[in-house]
Amino acid sequence: MTDALERDTTTVNRTVVITMALATGVVVANDYYAQPLEDTLARAFHATTGAVGLVIMLFQIGYAIGLATLVPLGDLLERRRLLAVMLGVTVLGLVGMATAPSLAVLAWAAVLASLTSVAVQVIVPFAAHVAAAHERGKVVGTVMSGLLLGVLLSRTVSGLVASVAGWRAVFALGGLATAAVAVLLWRQLPTLTPAVQMRYSTLMASVVRLVREEPVLRVRIRYGALTFASFSAFWVSAGFLLARPPYAWNNAAIGAFALIGAIGALAAKFAGRLADRGLARVATGGFLVVMAVSYVALAIGGQSVVALGIGVALMDLGCQGAHISNQSLIYSLRPEAHSRLNTAYMTSYFVAGAIGSGLSAVVYPHFGWSGVCVLGAAFPTVAALLWVGEMTRRRR
């Protein structure tokens, strides 16, 4: 069955890809439910904006730890069974969040949930593995579209559910959806023989070796880290901006606003098709520039909802387009090491996201929205300059 999946584009293969796209969307949503609820959580636990911002940062720290320690197991263990265990623990973490009596308990439960929700990063290289070589970019783009829609819809669902049933119901719903997805994956995914046989310590050491031996991986790690630091810097403070004058929106409105970023899901498919045509390197520069320029509109958006909406659409397009371009090139390096390649890239990605979130949580109380926009713009600007240097060296 594995060989057939690798050779052909069959109906079964498409069904598996759709299942994976749905699953990544549902599971990744768990890491973003809290973002539009920042002001609500601050009031519920009588906490400062900085304290709640740090809880959001802990989501990304937990995710980064999971990426570094759990995702490589996708090359060592049978993936379907691994996903079932990981998602079971994610459900426990979400139940802990839904019943948390204090912000500290919420934070620890968030770490547990985010640590194991890296199951999505076991699914993405799984998709790359079952895809035929000539359509790998399209398949990864399809799965990532599901993931991106999950990120976007999570904020909308979070705002709406919190408005109707309270913030605790948001995490309870996330737990139920994750449990349902775990059952679906168990029923639909094929059983694949692990790619390698080695000790866990050797497996982990091989991740470092891949970074050292693959220059393309190192370059793409830099681009991914800088763009996601920018993305996180924006969203960790956006909830506070929209909850206070001149906007003063409620949870439902803040969540609905995130739908503007749906352009990012479209960018994923577009970037995947460009990658299949061999244009990933060139396209990366365009996506980085779009993301840097988006902060001009986002800065104006401190007072104008139209400008803010335009800025969010451009920022998501640039970030997600660069991300898919990065992944398409990385997954072409070593087929037997897809999970470990993904670990190296995504660990750096989310560590940078945590740094961007933490810096934003510090900058916003002292320098306001303008400070956040300057911070956010700096990251893709540096990435664009690095891209110019890369392309110049390649021409030489």
31 domain-assigned: yes
194 domain-assigned: no
Q: How many domains does the chain have?
A: 1
The one-letter code for the residue type at 15 is T
195 domain-assigned: no
For the chain, 396 residues long, give each residue's pLDDT as a single digit of tens. Answer: 344 334 344 444 678 888 899 999 999 999 889 877 888 898 899 888 778 877 877 887 888 888 888 988 888 888 889 999 999 999 999 999 999 999 989 999 999 999 999 999 889 878 777 766 677 677 777 787 788 788 778 878 888 899 899 999 999 999 999 999 999 999 888 887 776 778 888 888 988 999 999 999 999 999 999 999 999 999 888 888 888 888 988 877 876 777 776 666 666 667 777 877 888 899 999 999 999 999 999 999 999 999 999 999 899 889 988 998 998 899 888 877 877 888 899 889 888 988 998 899 899 989 999 999 999 999 999 999 999 999 998 887
Q: What is the pTM of this model?
A: 0.74
Query: Distance of CA 100 to CAs 43, 60, 108, 167, Å?
Result: 15, 19, 9, 11
196 φ, ψ (degrees, to nearest 5): -140, 165
208 domain-assigned: yes
96 domain-assigned: yes
Cα dihedral across residues 70, 71, 74, 79: positive or negative: positive
Domain that holds residue 154: 2-189+200-395
pLDDT value for 235: 85
125 domain-assigned: yes
- The answer to whether the beta carbons of residues 180 and 22 sit under 8 Å apart is no
- The answer to whether the beta carbons of residues 144 and 124 sit under 8 Å apart is yes
Q: For residue 68, what is the domain's CATH number?
A: 1.20.1250.20
